[in-house]
Chains A and B, each alone.
Chain A
């Protein structure tokens, strides 16, 4: 069974919000209708976003780490938001595991948002229905797009490739491999929701210097000296050439 998901590398995310803006751009332009965007340049801007990048500080100064943390619907394998929906508007697709909302059936009762421990669902102020990340379901199957662009907009936009997309049930996929080999973990495991989206942990980056890098193989005796002066009439590339 397929379970599409995102794997987000917290070691690589720089908190640039490119995924947030590209998500909004793609999804507010789609056939499902615009996402609310109230007073975007006013005093209290408010609107619907499927994806947010948050920032946390870990540790106490001066021993601190800044963790940028992108958060969207985790497409749980046991989604608590789905069974509570009274109309069946919220559903999890058996074919690919994406959790979706049928905007034409949603009555805007907000019960699914109450039932999501992650705050991944947002009621659209304009359309008065619940909205959430669709994993760009209108992109990833679009055969009009080149194959390498059939990915969620956030994944396409990420300048540091912190976001991987794939089938986490396929052990050979890039996403499943990253989870397996780089310690991918789920958020709030205490509620048994089995989020499909995983996060890769922060890792300490240390400088590795090998002896060969200090003692140059092409100059084993470390004989350094002035380089021979080129003749004055030799062509120069720039004005740093000495003569």
Chain B
């Protein structure tokens, strides 16, 4: 597939926003039940929720660049019975609204925090499922059609969001920041395990569709000689990434380093050396790495329609 930056930014930004909210909510619950030895400053939760709103809103803005007719985007909520994309279109603004409500509740009406927070978690998890299922439900995109797609979207969002929470906590409550940073490191390692598992799975995949099944001729050698036109078409632009194998490998190594190794090193260095400022750097590195990770996620998916577009003439 041709990686579209609109969707790359959408999925990475909302993932970070969702992870940030979940990290804040976890802190909130721990504080409410007295498991935190430091008081949880409301400013951290409010500013964190607002940053999460901003991240999700930016993702929403990015998603509009994916549409040919963005002025009709409101129609996309119609088919929620059958379409995961439609469900995402509903879950995303719902989650944003609950984030705003969560920030407001913390600021002015603490009585409502548990309810709004719990609803926010439900919307957040629903959004993770919807986003992941958009890709995982396409069964002939074999690289995506796996529960690992959902696990990765959730874990990588949680990892970057927790790193963002650590960076924010470094400003408002440095004592909480260390715990968050260690949690972020653990979640990032878990994300690395899941992403490595999906890379290993995809490396072993054998395409179920072949030139033989594509045109229905049973012969070991079926080769395309002409695709029917000499120029380009939607089919040649949308489904091919056009990158060389060397570049693909470089991007894979790059995202493995930048999204996982570098942030974990920076987080641990920040905790061990007492430099909480490094947490912000860790988030920046991890977010850049996740952009590359998502680019690779799209590029690696091999659409069966490509069998029909192998030779110009």
Asked if residues B238 and A84 are in contact (CB atoms below 8 Å), the reply is: no
Q: How far is the CB of A225 from chain B (nearest CB, A)?
A: 52
How many Å lie between the Cα of A185 and that of B213 in the bound state? 10
- The proximity string for B residues 76-111 relative to A, scoring 1 for CB distances below 8 Å and 0 otherwise, is 111100111110010000000000000000000000
Asked if residues A86 and B83 are in contact (CB atoms below 8 Å), the reply is: yes
Residue B208 at the chain A interface, CB threshold 8 Å: yes
Q: How far is the CB of A10 from chain B (nearest CB, A)?
A: 8
In the bound complex, residues from chain A placing their C-beta under 8 Å from that of B139 are: 80, 191
Report the interface size class on chain B.
35 or more
Asked if residues A88 and B230 are in contact (CB atoms below 8 Å), the reply is: no
- The proximity string for B residues 228-252 relative to A, scoring 1 for CB distances below 8 Å and 0 otherwise, is 1111111100110000000000000
In the bound complex, residues from chain B placing their C-beta under 8 Å from that of A166 are: none
Q: Which residue of B lies closest to A104 (CB)?
A: B72
Asked if residues B229 and A107 are in contact (CB atoms below 8 Å), the reply is: no
In the bound complex, residues from chain B placing their C-beta under 8 Å from that of A202 are: 217
In the complex, chain B residues 106-160 whose Cβ is within 8 Å of any chain A Cβ: 134, 137-141
Chain A CB within 10 A, most for which of B78, B84, B215: B215
How many Å lie between the Cα of A97 and that of B1 in the bound state? 29
Asked if residues B209 and A52 are in contact (CB atoms below 8 Å), the reply is: no
In the bound complex, residues from chain A placing their C-beta under 8 Å from that of B222 are: 56-58
Asked if residues B219 and A114 are in contact (CB atoms below 8 Å), the reply is: no
In the bound complex, residues from chain A placing their C-beta under 8 Å from that of B223 are: 56-57
A44, A49, A188: the one within 8 Å of B214 (CB): A188
How many Å lie between the Cα of A53 and that of B229 in the bound state? 9
Q: How far is the CB of A198 from chain B (nearest CB, A)?
A: 9
How many Å lie between the Cα of A121 and that of B235 in the bound state? 8
Asked if residues A86 and B138 are in contact (CB atoms below 8 Å), the reply is: no
Q: How far is the CB of B254 from chain A (nearest CB, A)?
A: 25
Report the interface size class on chain A.
35 or more
Q: How far is the CB of B137 from chain A (nearest CB, A)?
A: 7
B79, B83, B213: the one within 8 Å of A189 (CB): B213
Given A86-B78, A108-B69, A119-B309, do A46 and B232 touch, yes or no (CB 8 Å)? yes
Q: How far is the CB of A175 from chain B (nearest CB, A)?
A: 17
Asked if residues B234 and A188 are in contact (CB atoms below 8 Å), the reply is: no
B67, B75, B209, B228: the one within 8 Å of A54 (CB): B228
How many Å lie between the Cα of A106 and that of B174 in the bound state? 50
How many Å lie between the Cα of A83 and that of B133 in the bound state? 13
How many Å lie between the Cα of A17 and that of B226 in the bound state? 12
Asked if residues A187 and B228 are in contact (CB atoms below 8 Å), the reply is: no
Task: Give B residues with C-beta under 8 Å from A.
Answer: 1, 66-70, 72-73, 75-79, 82-86, 89, 134, 137-141, 208-209, 211, 213-217, 219, 221-235, 238-239, 303-306, 308-309
Task: Give A residues with C-beta under 8 Å from B.
Answer: 10, 17, 20, 39, 44-49, 52-60, 66-67, 69, 71, 80, 82-89, 105-111, 113-119, 121-123, 125, 127-129, 185-191, 199, 201-202
